[in-house]
Amino acid sequence: MIRYLARRLGQSALTVFLTVTAVFVLVRLAPGDPASAYAGPTASPEDLARVRAQLGLDESVLAQYGIFLRGLLHGDAGMSYSFRAPALEVVLGRLPYTVTLAVAAILVTAVVAIPLGVWMARRADTAREIGASVLTVAGQSMPDFWSGVMLLTVFAVLVPVLPASGFTTWAGLVLPAVTVAVLQIALISRLVRREMAAALAAPYLTVARARGVSERALVWRYGMGNSLIPVLTALGTRFAALLNGVVVVEVVFAWPGVGSLVVRALETRDYPLIQATVLVTAALAIAVHLLVDVCYPLLDPRVRLGKAAAA
Amino acid sequence: MSVPVSSSPLPPSPGDSSPARPSAVTPRVLARSRASRQRRATRVKLWLGAGCTLVVVVPILLAGLLPLPGPNEQDLAQRRLPPLSGGHLFGTDQLGRDLLSRVLHGGQVSLAIGVLAVVVSGVIGVLAGAAAGYFGGGVDAVVCRLLEAQLSLPLLMMLLLVVALFGPSVPVITLVIAVAQWPELARLTRSLVLVEREKPYIAAARVLGLRRGVILARHVLPNVARPASLVVLLLVAQAVLLESALSYLGAGPQRPFATWGRIISDGQDYITTSWWLITLPGLVIVLLVVGVNLLGDALREATRRGRKADA
Amino acid sequence: MTRFGSGAVLDRRSLLRAGLAAGAGAALAPLAACAGPVGAATPGSLTLGLNRSLVSLDNKLNQFDAALTVQRAVRQALTRIGPDMSATPVLAERFEQTAPTQWRVRLREGARYSDGSPVTVADVATALRMYAQVNGSFVVNLFPELPSVTPLGERDFLLETARPVPILDLLMANILITPAAANRPEELSGGLGSGPYVVSAGNGGTGEYTLERNPRYWGTPPPVRTVRVRFVPEESSRVVAIRGGELDVIDSITPDSAEQLVGLPGVAIERVPGTRINQLFFNFRKPQGHPLADARVRQALSLAIDGPALLNDVLVGSASQAEGVVPLALVGAVRTGTYTHDPAEARARLDALGVRDLTLTIIWESGEFPADASVMEAVVEMLRAVGVGARLQQFEPGGDILRWRQGRGGDWDVLGNGYPGPTGQAITSLLGMYGGTPDKERTRDTYQGYVVPEIADQLAVAAAETDAARRAEVLTAAQRAIWASWPCLWAFVPNVVLARRTRVRGLALQPINSYDLAAVRVEEQP
């Protein structure tokens, strides 16, 4: 167990390290001059040279990489050019907003998608279920920027009952969370349907039904109980994906999270900020994955981590 | 969409061939049986999917032949006309350009990028997956690590990064989407090849003294091509969505090229006065992606059942 | 393969329960951490929605107009630019020119910071030094040279320059004063100011600030108790938010937003002709013999542009066509001509000049001016109508456009660009755009390669001339000469447009796209 955990941790750290290195190389390969973005449009060449020296951009890429790694060991990902503050601090300051949005969206998803999926499994292939499954396909086919803007049009413009942007009141959470949840509900409910259909057709359920177990217990206790692992895994995976992937929705709703931050960092070529964002989000996503894996044996006594590691 | 392969097999469906002998099983009962309901559901999805897809794809392919104004032909006196006025089915945009024409020509770009990206990712994914599955060992380890690393990356963030850094040209966007999608196909191909590799005809080929590369190319790949190709439709849908998200965030081909994401993000500035600028292009995207997804779903279900019937 | 945990104690059901509890906790923790202020339109408070992030309340590096409005409410300068573009004293009581290169300043009696300490001469000297030390400062570039401070008494000092700077009193409006001990050669994220407001909460990362009335303000206390500043980058979000009353003021709005907001109950639009000029500027680095090197070709091309259509249909009446080489709102600007639209004449002239198969590359940076993309797309069609091809190349902010502008990134013909008039004086903009010399061109440091030595000489003379009449005369001649060289395909002066809820009163928008926050009142509606 300990060996397994240590190995997983090592692998995760390696993945994060490789990711950050890849980003470091990428941003330096690219054309464009962060010094000019930093110094503004009226800067003279001398200004630019000074800014370059100040930001360490006049060093060789290898030397910059060395400085960067040394900084990381001290928990320092460099100063953001556009915020003129430690990049890691800026990202961590935005993180609670993104986590809030992700948590809210995943809660909405779980509350809607699991009952919906169960219902679809029990009514499989009836006319109404076909309708519902076409709807889930539609949910998964809507570009999130579009559904976001449409929700915004309806609930903030036509019937102005909800705030359109930012997070100044709790109501501001509704539209972005629902927008994010639409896609997740579609994905998770389809998964639940598939898992439940398999569980409901299993012989032990027929036996249980023959022995007079109530239909509700049949579905929720035996059926759902056995479909829980893949569903929870999927919820965990989706949550991890949300932590680094709500860029579009954050932009649509001016949500002050990490996603809208990264769009801005890219626009201004804010190297340290881009690196810090990728570092934080990748580490977070990998941590969630790890957590989900470690929880397997707790949820299902048949699973042993040693085996998982060997497979 | 990423569902662990191991969790997908459906329970064996009850026998569905009706013997021609006197029986209490009337055609009516049969029609209500699970198997025929499933077949019917698949058929509905197939037709619905094909319908939606064709309604969008055919006009896009014929955009040049239809009696429409050019996508960049502007008439500043006819700005933001609502749909069905002045001979404009979808109305006009902020520069008096025909919205339908822009949507259709933009669709050509989106579809071309989507199809091209899937071809490229198909080549990469199938080759890498087949090599990993067939040769195993070191090749397998490398491919699996790469897959894992990429799956834990913030996808949209990385795509934005690359596009922002290397300029939003059609080849860059195509390549970026292709790279984003290869893991799905690689994983599938790898698992298919793993099964295929153990079959007797491969052993026979080996005994006949064929080289491993030849066996893989001549015998294994053709046998996995069909099941692998079923995912392709779903990938096209995903690629179209990704492309529109990128161009919505400003990472689309240079102006005045119309792309779906850009038409919507431009239209967002008129959200309170001109609903059609965002609603209609969005509906077109949804229609296409729903169509392609339903079609892919239906084909997959049909083959899955077909395989089972063979077995 | 060690067996994990003690399955007997920790059964699955209790684990699930614990998981749910942990999930709820995880959900609430971040929420509690970032729950924002409550509600919109709180009585006595004002919420501003900026479209660029206010990184700090200091302007050493970061200067955009709306930020200045907020920054000045917390930190003050010796002077500010008044409604008539003249210098109005703020922390200075007197600011007088005593010799061509010397100004005598007296600090205001009783001026103090929010902690009660007085504003001193040393604070002014330190502020100037800190602005000079900062890299890439926009503010310092406005000064031909920074003045030196010679203290005369407790409140009196001299500002001296090597060469005459006739507009020093206006320029000093950009130097914000902070206590000397707290000032550093970087943007100050917190700290003290002498302004009518103090920062009670601020987050440079999200661009959100809360300002409260400064209880020890030396002047008349402002009517509004609390000012909230929010960063709302999407234009459409700002429009929706002001419609719904979440925001009270949005500044620098696009023509389209203004059009959507006009006539809505509860929303009023303010427009003032601005001091910024937006140009489609020709590339002056073309070799001899290239069609664009000929002023007659440039003039002929400008005939292809349908200015009124662009103004009415694309910019929807929120701008006016330029009638001079700098906006007429600037002090010292004169009318020099107009752009006319005559496609037939354009084609005829191009034919007469032997220009055929011309294709122009037009470059610009997103957001350089309102409706930039639409203007560019419209211009392409207008050029096509006279048989001139055009290709668009749009850059994202922070992208490669600087290298292109310097002629190092790629070849281009027309640049979409805006030039601000932050001092309110024509001479600042004129020098910046048309004062290029061959010397500066060696480092590609001129305005798109515009080098006309006679004009640069005239402008230099005007800049150092202390006699007002003579200065105006030279300046007028220079502007006429510039117009005759047809530097622009087209140019327009956007109005400064701002939308406010009608409950916001006393907001006097200035051509420099700023207003005095301390004068704004909020009316409570029944």
DSSP annotation string for A91-129: HHHHHHHHHHHHHHHHHHHHHHHHHHHHHHHHTTTSHHH
Task: Please name each of the domains of chain A with its CATH number.
Answer: 95-266 (1.10.3720.10)
Distance of residue C362 Cα from the nearest chain A Cα, in angstroms? 18
* Shortest CA gap C426–chain A (Å): 17
- Rounded CA-CA distance A43/A61 in Å is 24
Residue in chain A closest to B8 (alpha carbons) equals: A194
- Does A197 sit within 8 Å of B10, measured CB to CB? yes
pTM, rounded to two decimals: 0.80
Which chains contact B through at least 3 pairs of Cβ atoms less than 8 Å apart? A, C
pLDDT (tens digit per residue) in B174-231: 998 998 888 888 988 998 898 888 888 888 988 988 888 888 888 888 888 888 877 8
Q: Do A130 and B162 touch (CB under 8 A)?
A: no
- Burial class of residue A2 in the structure, from the number of CB atoms within 10 Å of its CB (0-12 exposed, 13-18 middle, 19+ buried): exposed
| Chain A residues lying within 8 Å of C238, measured CB to CB | 165
Residues of B in contact with A157 (CB under 8 A): 271-272
C-beta neighbour count of A10 within 10 angstroms: 10
pLDDT at B105 over 50: yes
Between chains, do C374 and B273 touch, taking CB under 8 Å as contact? no
Distance in angstroms between the alpha carbons of the first and the last residue of chain B: 27
Please report residues of B whose CB lies closer than 8 A to that of A309. none
For chains A and B, what is the number of CB pairs under 8 angstroms? 157
C-alpha atoms less than 13 angstroms from C-alpha of C165 in its C-beta half-sphere: 21
**Chain A residues near residue B157 by CB distance under 8 angstroms:** 244-245, 247, 259, 262, 277-278, 281
The reported pLDDT for the residue numbered B219 is 86
Residues of chain B contacting A289 with CB distance shorter than 8 Å = 152
Sign of CA dihedral A249, A251, A255, A261: positive
- From first to last of its 526 residues, chain C has per-residue pLDDT tens of 334 433 344 455 565 565 556 555 554 454 444 444 333 445 678 999 988 778 778 887 665 677 888 988 999 999 998 888 888 999 999 999 999 899 999 999 999 999 999 999 999 999 999 988 876 666 777 788 899 999 999 999 999 999 888 889 988 998 999 999 888 887 777 768 899 999 988 887 778 899 999 999 999 999 999 999 998 888 888 888 898 888 999 988 888 888 889 888 899 999 888 888 999 999 999 999 899 999 999 999 999 999 999 998 888 878 899 999 999 989 899 999 999 999 999 999 999 999 988 999 999 987 788 788 889 989 999 999 999 999 888 877 656 777 788 777 789 999 999 888 877 889 888 988 998 888 888 877 788 899 999 999 999 998 888 888 898 999 999 999 999 999 999 999 998 899 999 999 999 998 888 899 999 999 876 4
Residue B80's region, left for phi above 0, alpha for psi from -120 to 50, else beta, is: left
Whose CA is closest to C415, among C460, C360, C479, C370?
A: C360
Check CB contact under 8 Å for C260 and B272.
yes
Residues of A in contact with B245 (CB under 8 A): 143-145, 248
DSSP string, chain B: ----GGG-PPPPPPP-PPPSS--S--HHHHHHSHHHHHHHHHHHHHHHHHHHHHHHHHHHHTTTTSS---TT---GGGTTPPTTBTTBTT-B-TTS-BHHHHHHHHHHHHHHHHHHHHHHHHHHHHHHHHHHHHH-HHHHHHHHHHHHHHHTS-HHHHHHHHHHHH---HHHHHHHHHHHHHHHHHHHHHHHHHHHHTSHHHHHHHHTT--HHHIIIIIIHHHHHHHHHHHHHHHHHHHHHHHHHHHHTT-SSPTT---HHHHHHHHGGGTTT-THHHHHHHHHHHHHHHHHHHHHHHHHHHHHHHHHHH-
- Give contacts of B250 with chain C, Cβ < 8 Å: 366, 396
ipTM exceeding the 0.95 mark? no
- The answer to whether the bond into B168 is cis (omega within 30° of 0) is no
All chains having 3 or more CB pairs closer than 8 angstroms to chain A: B, C
What is the distance, to the nearest Å, from the Cα of residue C223 to the centroid of all Cα atoms in its chain?
27
DSSP-derived letter for residue A154 is I
Contacting residues of C for A31, CB less than 8 Å apart: 400
Q: A–C: how many Cβ contacts below 8 A?
A: 177
CA distance C446 to chain B (A): 27
Contact B97, B74 (CB under 8 A): yes
Beta-carbon contacts below 8 Å between B and C: 57
Q: How close, in Å, is residue A172 to chain B by CA atoms?
A: 19
CB spacing of A168 vs C403 below 8 angstroms: no
Mean pLDDT of all residues in A224-252:
84
Is the Cβ pair B294, A194 closer than 8 Å?
Answer: no
Among residues C257, B267, B278, the alpha carbon closest in space to that of A147 is found at: B278
* Cα pseudo-dihedral A281, A283, A288, A293, rounded to 10: 150
- Strand C226-231 relative to strand C45-50: parallel, antiparallel, unpaired? parallel
Strands C156-160 and C102-107: antiparallel
- Name which of B8, B278, B290 is nearest A137 (Cβ-Cβ): B290
| Interface probe with A: pick from C2, C4, C267, most Cβ of A within 10 Å | C4
Q: How far apart are CA A116 and CA C318, in angstroms?
A: 51
Judged by CB atoms closer than 8 Å, whether chains meet at C366 and B250 is answered as: yes
Contact residues on chain C for A42, CB-CB shorter than 8 A: 138, 141, 432
- Mutant choice from B1, B7, B42, B287 vs A, greatest count of A C-beta within 10 A: B7
Q: Do B37 and A124 touch (CB under 8 A)?
A: yes
